[in-house]
């Protein structure tokens, strides 16, 4: 599977299990968090560490090239 397919797999599974996202705001928050964690993983960071840093006010920011 390519990276794009892997990225959309989790939201699609969530919709299949629960039937839908409850609100547009909830869907947007889910997508933002999922995007943040997917980028952190692709850059070689631990997902849990990236989330902990974000919650404690020290978010991981990808390096610019």
**Cα–Cα distance for residue pair 54/33, rounded to 1 Å:** 10
For the segment 44-59, what is each residue's pLDDT rounded down to a tens digit? 999 899 999 999 999 8
Domain-by-domain residue ranges, the chain?
A: 3-56
Residue 15, CB half-sphere, CA atoms under 13 Å: how many? 12
| Cβ-contact 60, 40 below 8 angstroms | yes
For the segment 8-39, what is each residue's pLDDT rounded down to a tens digit? 666 666 666 665 667 778 778 877 888 888 88
**Cα–Cα distance for residue pair 49/56, rounded to 1 Å:** 11
Q: Which residue has the higher pLDDT, 6 or 46?
A: 46
């Amino acid at each position: 599977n390519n990276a794009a397919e892997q990225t959309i797999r989790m939201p699609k599974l969530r919709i299949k299990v629960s039937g839908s996202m409850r609100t547009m705001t909830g869907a947007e928050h889910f997508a933002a968090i999922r995007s943040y964690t997917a980028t952190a993983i692709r850059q070689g960071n631990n997902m849990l560490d990236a989330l902990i840093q974000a919650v404690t006010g020290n978010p991981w920011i990808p390096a610019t090239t």
